[in-house]
């Protein structure tokens, strides 16, 4: 794959300007294009071979030149040849394609994570720092970015041709894709899975910026609360901390540092507590009961939106210690019955004694003692 | 240019006094017929009708895509256009095209039988086709359906309020038409071969249709039950495909593609059978590597059942299952390549002429090769990530289905037209059509490969302006293509009255169907023949010609 | 002319004789060919039916795996007594059908009519019991949809049953959906079969099938046995496995 860099640059520039190729704006784009060249080359060879045979024989053996045909049964040697050679070429394509596929769909460990929620007919991007975008995505170049995506309704597909990446965005489960942008600029974002009336309008922009510009953008665009902070509010308002209080006698497992760990479930299986697991457990807890605990967690299906789930997952991802959970407990000012879901029938007595405190300790917001908390982003009321 | 066409003396030639066309008169004799040839003609009429409806929708789509803005039709209308175009072209045209028209007509004669195994079921097949088509037309005129031909859930089950159930019912019923046709062919080829007709003396057209019939019989029922589930889901809404109720939308994808991938082989295999016959006849040679071509047909059918998830590489199947399906996809590509090379080798040391069926066959060879090779692009996992769901896919399947299958279908119709009607079509007009179609096709669909690599998604009503040039090229090509398809609609009916009398064997071909009168008697053969020579035996034919009487009447 | 260009078999000129009875269709050469062809066709058709039911079995496989507890609990609410009775009834009807085939082959018109009538009767008994079962599901609020109630699963009356969490109990609807879809599809095939049986009975009354042309009865027998076999798969999958209450 070592073509002279000068020749490669020339090819790239010429091809991009000829509008045959989308811009090569990510680390994987040149690899994809190289593979494409190879495929085009063997296709051209194959087509020319067939073309020469067909045209050549038609002319050489046209009736005027060759009035009597020679009956030929076949040739095992030829059959073998034109079985094995195409098979070998296809196997090369298979291996190369598989390598490329694994490279694109196996995310690297230290990628920066951004959440994407697709819904008819818009894309929402949620940066962990609390930046929310609609139909656009700002990213820094030269940084590995992973997208964790989910749909709120039907199948969509998140496609960035310039980066040569695409992944289906599925309702009910997370899908991920990663890339590393290498060239600043604005690139097309398309939804490529037919999703109804305004499928062609579900497009947007990917804005790749230098790291400095990205920082500037990020600090200027934040909504004020990171996803984890939103998650914290939800955690409290939905009453999660009544069971997941972090205490030894708690009814629910401790969530500090649970993200990424190996969990043993009641049926004996071991699972990794990743994003998908956390989301699934919130929605279908009785299918994933941790060993040693009773299956009493209620389902939150229908009570929390996908954005809310993302916030909760972010919150849990960032839970380093029990102290953090305690902070959430004390920061909550909701009494049972107000906002969010209640646990199965019983109110948590501990919360009644909770002294009213400011929401989000240390954020400098005025206390809202006695009033119902403002509707928390992420619950279905919005 | 010289030709092998050998017609009876036109001064004295007449159509045979008695044939399947005039053995009985009246609408009832056609609508209640058991004669496979009449049923073939009923199908020919129906599918041509639906081809033009589907084609009209294609024209509207291309017209809209002339400009980047959604300015011709509303978004919902556009979505209905491409949905109905796909549904009609696939289920009402491509799937029955060669099997139900040419296959129905010719297969019993090729095996030396007086009819298919189950004539009444054959007629039932046609009525099921018409019933299914009626449901689809009803869905069309009462507002259309916009799910895409793939009926993807949960869009089709919970997010659309168009006539999804009606359309699904139409496809469900038409599917049974396909199943019964396939069943008939398999049983006929197994049980109705005349004495001496061993498997390896069958024309390759029979082998290809046999392979396609296996796919029809085993694959279509899965589509049927999948559509039933979609219809139930739409009415009861249990959540069998709805994740918010515990269902799995990917289950639908697996069930749907389990049929729909073999479906593409159902569509292409009979066309490949036509090409075998045509290339042999117009090079005056037996097909090179008969056994290889025969087994390749069956191999395509068998492998075709194991590659369905290559339509789902980016949909969340595990990397490892994607690996398996990609490997199998590469394997299924090989038999098609073998066939192309065998056909090319058939030309070697042949005596080649360029009548219209041969021109279409050459068009097939080139366009199917391109289409098939681009399939390898898509079967390669990494490449598929960039190319899937773009116009590259649209170009790929139009190359194989239209550039491949439709050309093969036209080749077959022209090839067997003299047998079916007793008349020749006008040669220069038809050659002009073939060339026009070829040129129009390339102009229409080649730019779509490019715009697909650029990233233009499929099923898009509006697109970024930088894609316009290629779209304009594509629409321009579509105009030419349309002309190419309209011309046969003019000269074929013309030939029924004014075409030259063909005689029993205008092409000097070897099949059993060419040894009987044109058009054939209702019972095909007065006495069941005994097969005593190999397929494509031109030496045997040379001896026959000495004894052959060319006057008819 | 045409067919003299190729070697042909010498055709018979009598309209009907031993080798060409009245029921020999014109496109078949011998009675054997006709019979074997019809049989082959029916076997092939049954193969398509297997593929047809296959999709539902696939869905059942998947969701049983995902929601094991709900599926086991739901399965336990199906009446084992009625289910077993139905199985016996259907197997019995296959026996009477086989007796019908035997009667046809031994040219026993009365025997054939009796067998067909018994088969119809047993088929109707099966459908009757099925109706009772469906009605039970209705009264127990186990029909998926608006009327579904999770009470029986969240607060089971039987001490041996483990109560399910509400979200898992909701998935019981999927079990019942598949139960109704699979047994409903099966019942539809039975209704079609019984309808054809009435036609066959009527024809048999007028002397058909006992004159050497038993093909129709043979092939319908195949269909009936197939419908029976589908039930033999449905019954264990829906009623029997994991019958013991959850630990």
Domain with A125 in it: what CATH number?
2.60.40.420
Query: What's the rounded Cα separation, in Å, for the pair A287 and A265?
Result: 9
Cβ of C167 within 8 Å of Cβ of A299? The answer is yes
Mark which of A41, A70, A105 sits at the end of a domain.
Answer: A105
Identify all chain A residues contacting B310, using CB atoms and an 8 Å cutoff. none
Degrees to nearest 5, angle at CA B431 with B427 and B436: 150
Q: What is the mean pLDDT of residues A364-376?
A: 38
Structure tokens at B94: 């491509």
- The rounded distance, in Å, linking the Cα atoms of B69 and B199 is 57
Q: CA B257, CA B308: separation in Å to the nearest integer?
A: 5
Return the minimum-mean-pLDDT range out of A154-168, B425-439, B517-531: B517-531
Virtual torsion, Cα B151, C180, A173, B259, nearest 10 deg: -40
Whole domain around residue A193: which residue ranges?
A: 112-221
CB contacts under 8 A, B 164-203 vs C, are 179, 183-184, 186-187, 190-192, 195
Shared domain for A74 and A157, answered yes or no, is no
Q: Which chains touch B (3 or more CB pairs under 8 A)?
A: A, C
**pLDDT of C110-151, one tens digit each?**
999 999 999 999 999 999 999 999 999 999 999 888 888 888
Number of domains in chain A: 3
Are B454 and B502 in contact by the 8 Å Cβ rule? The answer is: no
Of A75, A105, A135, the position where a domain reaches its end is A105
The third-level CATH classification (topology) of the domain covering B27-547 is Cytochrome C Oxidase; Chain A (1.20.210)
Pairwise CA distance, residues B411 & B362, whole Å: 10
C-alpha to C-alpha distances, B257 to B44, B214, B323, C51, nearest whole angstrom: 28, 17, 17, 14
A324 and A309 in one domain? yes
- Chain B, 342-381: which have a CB under 8 Å from a chain A CB? 342, 344-345, 347-354, 362, 365-366, 369-370, 373-374, 376-377, 379-381
- C205-224: average pLDDT: 91
In this structure, is residue C247 part of a structural domain?
Answer: no
CA–CA separation, A169 vs B316, rounded Å?
Answer: 9
C130 within a domain of the structure (yes/no) = yes
Helix, strand and coil in chain C, % to nearest 5: 70, 0, 30
The pLDDT confidence band at residue C245, using thresholds 50, 70 and 90, is: low
B-C contacts at Cβ under 8 angstroms: 152
Res A340 pLDDT > 80: no
pLDDT of residue A6: 78
> How do residues A60-70 score in pLDDT, each as one tens digit?
999 999 999 99
Task: Please check whether residue C203 lies inside any domain of the structure.
Answer: yes
DSSP string, B292-315: HHHHHHHHHHHHHTT-GGGG-TTT
Q: Please name every residue paired with B423 in a beta bridge, in sequence order, or none if there are none.
A: B501
Instruction: State how far the Cα of B24 lies from the Cα of B439, in Å rounded to an integer.
Output: 43
Interface probe, candidates B17, B112, B116, B183, chain C, greatest C C-beta count within 10 A = B183
CA distance B136 to B90: 12
User: Taking CB atoms and an 8 Å cutoff, what residues of chain A touch B337?
Assistant: 46, 82-83, 86
In a shared domain, residues A176 and A234: no
Asked if residue B218 lies in contact with residue B179, where contact means CB atoms within 8 angstroms, the answer is: no
User: Which of C67, C164, C166 is the closest to A298 by Cβ?
Assistant: C166
Residues A240 and A193 placed together within one structural domain of the fold: no
pLDDT given at position A341: 40
Chain A CB within 8 Å of residue C165 CB? yes
Burial of A2 (0-12, 13-18, 19+ CB in 10 A): exposed
pLDDT tens digits along B479-516: 999 999 999 999 999 999 999 999 999 999 999 999 99
Closest CB to B187 among C6, C37, C56? C37
Structure tokens of B359? Answer: 């021109």
Do A254 and A215 share a structural domain? no
**What is the average pLDDT across A370-381?**
40
Q: What average pLDDT does the structure give for chain C?
A: 88
pLDDT of residue A10: 72
Contact A136, A207 (CB under 8 A): yes
Say which CATH number the domain at C195 has. 1.20.120.80
Does A288 score more than 90 pLDDT? no
Q: Which of A221, A242, A269 is the last residue of a domain?
A: A221
B553 vs A: CB within 8 A: no
Rounded Cα distance between B427 and B416, Å, is 14
Q: Tell me the per-residue pLDDT of C23-64, one tens digit each, with 9 for 90 and over.
A: 888 889 889 999 999 999 999 999 999 999 999 999 999 999
CA distances from C47 to A33, B29, B442, C41 (A): 46, 33, 42, 10
Domain-located, residue C72: yes
Please answer whether residues B515 and C5 qualify as being in contact, where contact means their C-beta atoms are separated by less than 8 angstroms: yes
Helix (H) or strand (E) holding A138: strand A136-140
Q: What is the pLDDT of residues B53-83, one digit of tens each?
A: 999 999 999 999 999 999 999 999 999 999 9
Query: Backbone dihedral region of B524: left (phi > 0), alpha (psi from -120 to 50 degrees) or beta?
Result: left
Q: Where are the domains of chain B?
A: 27-547
Query: Number of structural domains, chain C?
Result: 1
* Structural domain includes residue A76: yes
Check if A19 contacts B (Cβ < 8 Å). Answer: yes
Q: How far apart are CA A128 and CA A114, in angstroms?
A: 7
Task: Give dist(CA B236, CA B253) in Å, integer.
Answer: 20
**b/e sequence C44-70, b meaning 16+ C-beta within 10 Å:** bbbbbbebbbbbbbbbbebbbebbbbb
Q: Quick check: is C120 in a domain?
A: yes
C167/A284 Cβ within 8 A: yes
Which range among A202-206, B134-138, B242-246 shows the weakest confidence by mean pLDDT?
B242-246
Q: Would residue C29 count as lying in a domain?
A: no
CB contact under 8 A, C168 and A296: no
pLDDT of residue C15: 52
B152 and A193: CB-CB below 8 Å?
yes
On whether residue A372 sits in a domain, the answer given is no
Rounded to whole angstroms, the Cα distance separating B224 from B258 reads 11
Where in the sequence is the domain holding C187, given as residue range(s)? Answer: 42-240
Mean pLDDT of A168-184: 94
pTM for the model stands at 0.89
Strand locations in B142-283 (E): none
Q: What is the CATH number of the domain that holds A14?
A: 1.10.287.90
> Residue A308 falls within a domain, yes or no?
yes
A contacts of C69 (beta carbons < 8 Å): 286
| Minimal C-alpha gap between A234 and chain B (Å) | 20
C-alpha to C-alpha distance for B493 and B293, rounded to whole angstroms: 35
A277 shares a domain with A348: yes
Contact between chains at B217 and C36 (C-beta distance less than 8 A): no
CA–CA distance, B280 with B205 (Å, rounded to integer): 11
The residues of A whose Cβ lies within 8 A of any Cβ of C are 283-287, 295-299, 301, 344
Structure tokens at A115: 């959440």
A215 vs B: CB within 8 A: no
**Pseudo-torsion of CA C181, C184, C189, C191, nearest 10°?**
-160
Instruction: For residue A197, give the nearest of B79, B337, B342 by CB distance.
Output: B79
Residue of B252, B380, B438 best to disrupt the A interface, most CBs of A under 10 A: B380
Residues A120, A100 share a domain: no
Q: Is the peptide bond before C108 cis (omega within 30 degrees of 0)?
A: no
Coil, helix or strand at residue B57? helix
Give the confidence band of B544 by pLDDT, cuts at 50, 70, 90.
Answer: confident
Average pLDDT, chain B: 94
- Does residue A183 sit in the same domain as residue A249? no
């Amino acid at each position: 794959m070592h073509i002279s860099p000068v020749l490669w640059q020339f090819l790239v520039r010429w091809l991009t300007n000829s509008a045959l190729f989308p811009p090569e704006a990510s680390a994987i784009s040149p690899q994809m294009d190289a593979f494409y060249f190879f495929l085009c080359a063997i296709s051209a060879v194959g087509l020319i071979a067939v073309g020469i045979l067909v045209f050549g024989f038609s002319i050489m053996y046209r009736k005027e030149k060759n009035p009597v045909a020679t009956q030929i049964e076949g040739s095992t040697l030829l059959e073998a040849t034109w079985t094995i050679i195409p098979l070998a070429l296809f196997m090369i394509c298979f291996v190369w394609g598989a390598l490329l596929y694994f490279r694109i769909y196996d995310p690297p460990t230290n990628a920066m994570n951004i959440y994407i929620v697709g819904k008819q007919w818009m894309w929402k991007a949620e940066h962990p720092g609390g930046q929310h975008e609609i139909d656009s995505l700002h990213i820094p170049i030269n940084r590995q970015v992973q997208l964790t995506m989910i749909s709120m309704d039907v199948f969509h597909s998140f496609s960035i041709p310039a980066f040569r990446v695409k992944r289906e965005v599925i309702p009910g489960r997370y899908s991920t894709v990663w890339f590393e942008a290498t060239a600043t600029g604005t690139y097309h974002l398309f939804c490529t899975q037919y999703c109804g009336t305004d499928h062609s309008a579900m497009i947007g922009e990917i804005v790749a910026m230098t790291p400095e510009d990205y920082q500037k953008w990020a600090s200027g665009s934040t909504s004020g609360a990171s996803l984890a902070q939103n998650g914290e509010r939800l955690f409290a308002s939905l009453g999660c901390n009544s069971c997941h209080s972090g205490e030894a006698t708690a009814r629910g497992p401790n969530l500090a540092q649970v993200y990424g760990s190996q969990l043993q479930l009641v049926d004996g299986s071991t699972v990794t507590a990743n994003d998908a697991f956390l989301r699934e457990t919130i929605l279908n807890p009785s299918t994933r009961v941790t060993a040693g605990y009773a299956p009493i967690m209620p389902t939150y299906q229908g009570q929390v939106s996908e954005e809310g789930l993302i916030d909760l997952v972010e919150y849990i991802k960032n839970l380093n210690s029990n102290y953090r959970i305690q902070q959430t407990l004390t920061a909550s000012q909701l009494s049972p019955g107000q906002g969010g879901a209640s646990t199965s029938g019983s109110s948590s007595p501990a919360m009644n004694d909770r002294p009213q405190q400011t929401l989000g300790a240390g954020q400098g917001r005025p206390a809202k003692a006695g009033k119902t908390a403002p509707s928390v982003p992420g619950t279905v009321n919005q | 240019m010289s030709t092998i066409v050998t017609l009876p003396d036109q001064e004295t030639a007449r159509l045979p006094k008695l044939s399947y066309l005039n053995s009985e008169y009246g609408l009832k004799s056609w609508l209640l017929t058991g004669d496979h040839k009449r049923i073939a003609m009923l199908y020919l009429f129906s599918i041509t009708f639906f081809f033009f409806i589907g084609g009209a929708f294609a024209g509207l789509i291309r017209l809209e895509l002339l400009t980047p803005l959604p300015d011709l039709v509303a978004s919902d209308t556009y979505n209905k256009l491409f949905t109905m175009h796909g549904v009609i072209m696939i289920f009402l045209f491509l799937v029955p095209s060669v099997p139900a028209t040419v296959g129905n007509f010719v297969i019993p004669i090729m095996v030396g039988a007086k009819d298919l195994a189950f004539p009444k079921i054959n007629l039932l097949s046609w009525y099921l086709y018409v019933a299914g088509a009626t449901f689809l037309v009803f869905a069309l005129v009462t507002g259309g359906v916009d799910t895409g031909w793939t009926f993807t859930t949960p869009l089709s089950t919970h997010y659309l309020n168009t006539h999804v159930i009606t359309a699904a019912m139409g496809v469900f019923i038409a599917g049974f038409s396909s199943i019964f046709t396939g069943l008939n062919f398999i049983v006929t080829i197994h049980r109705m071969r005349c004495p001496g007709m061993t498997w390896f003396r069958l024309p390759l057209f029979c082998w290809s249709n046999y392979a396609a019939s296996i796919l029809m019989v085993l694959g279509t029922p899965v589509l049927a039950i999948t559509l039933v589930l979609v219809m139930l889901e739409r009415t009861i809404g249990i959540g069998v495909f709805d994740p918010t109720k515990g269902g799995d939308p990917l289950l639908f994808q697996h069930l749907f593609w389990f049929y729909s991938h073999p479906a593409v082989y159902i569509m292409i295999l009979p066309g490949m059978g036509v090409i075998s016959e045509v290339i042999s006849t117009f090079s005056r040679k037996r097909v090179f590597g008969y056994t290889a071509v025969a087994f390749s047909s069956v191999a395509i059918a068998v492998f075709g059942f194991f590659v369905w998830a290559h339509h789902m590489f980016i949909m969340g199947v595990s990397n490892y299952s994607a690996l398996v399906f990609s490997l199998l996809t590469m394997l299924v590509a090989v038999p098609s390549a073998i066939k192309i090379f065998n056909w090319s080798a058939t030309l070697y040391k042949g005596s080649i002429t360029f009548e219209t069926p041969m021109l279409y066959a050459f068009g097939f060879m080139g366009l199917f090769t391109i289409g098939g090779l681009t399939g390898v692009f898509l079967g390669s996992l990494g490449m598929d990530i960039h190319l899937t769901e773009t116009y590259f896919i649209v170009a790929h399947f139009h190359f194989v289905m239209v550039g491949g299958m439709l050309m093969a279908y036209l080749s077959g119709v022209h090839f067997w037209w003299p047998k079916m009607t007793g008349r020749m079509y006008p040669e220069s007009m038809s050659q002009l059509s073939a060339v026009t179609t070829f040129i129009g096709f390339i102009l229409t669909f080649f730019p779509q490969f490019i715009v697909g690599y650029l990233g233009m998604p499929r099923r898009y009503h509006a697109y970024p302006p930088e894609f316009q040039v290629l779209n304009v090229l594509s629409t321009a090509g579509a105009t030419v293509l349309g002309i190419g398809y309209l011309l046969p609609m003019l000269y074929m009916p013309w030939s029924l009255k004014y075409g030259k009398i063909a005689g029993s064997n205008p092409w000097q071909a070897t099949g059993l169907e060419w040894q009987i009168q044109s058009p054939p008697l209702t019972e095909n053969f007065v006495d069941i023949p005994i097969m005593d020579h190999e397929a494509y035996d031109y030496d045997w034919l040379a001896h026959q010609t000495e004894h052959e009487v060319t006057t008819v009447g | 002319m045409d067919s003299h260009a190729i070697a042909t078999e010498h055709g018979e000129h009598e309209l009907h004789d031993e080798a060409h009875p009245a029921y020999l269709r014109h496109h078949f050469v011998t009675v054997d060919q006709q019979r074997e062809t019809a049989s082959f066709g029916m076997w092939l058709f049954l193969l398509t039916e297997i593929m047809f039911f296959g999709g539902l079995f696939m869905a059942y496989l998947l969701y049983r795996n995902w929601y094991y507890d709900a599926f086991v609990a739901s399965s336990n609410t199906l009446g084992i007594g009625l289910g077993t009775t139905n199985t016996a009834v259907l197997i019995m009807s296959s026996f009477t059908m086989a007796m019908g085939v035997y009667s046809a082959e031994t040219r026993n018109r009365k025997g054939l009519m009796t067998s067909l009538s018994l088969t119809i009767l047993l088929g109707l008994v099966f459908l009757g019991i099925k109706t009772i079962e469906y009605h039970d599901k209705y009264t127990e609020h186990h029909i998926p949809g608006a009327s579904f109630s999770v009470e029986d699963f969240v607060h089971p009356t039987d001490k041996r049953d483990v109560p399910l969490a509400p979200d898992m109990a909701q998935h019981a609807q999927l079990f019942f959906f598949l139960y109704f879809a699979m047994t409903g599809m099966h019942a539809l095939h039975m209704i079609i079969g019984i309808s054809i049986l009435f036609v066959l009975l009527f024809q048999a009354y007028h002397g058909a099938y006992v004159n050497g042309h038993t093909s129709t009865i043979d092939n319908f027998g195949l269909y009936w046995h197939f419908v029976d076999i589908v039930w033999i798969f449905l019954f264990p999958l829906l009623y029997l496995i994991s019958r013991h209450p959850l630990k």
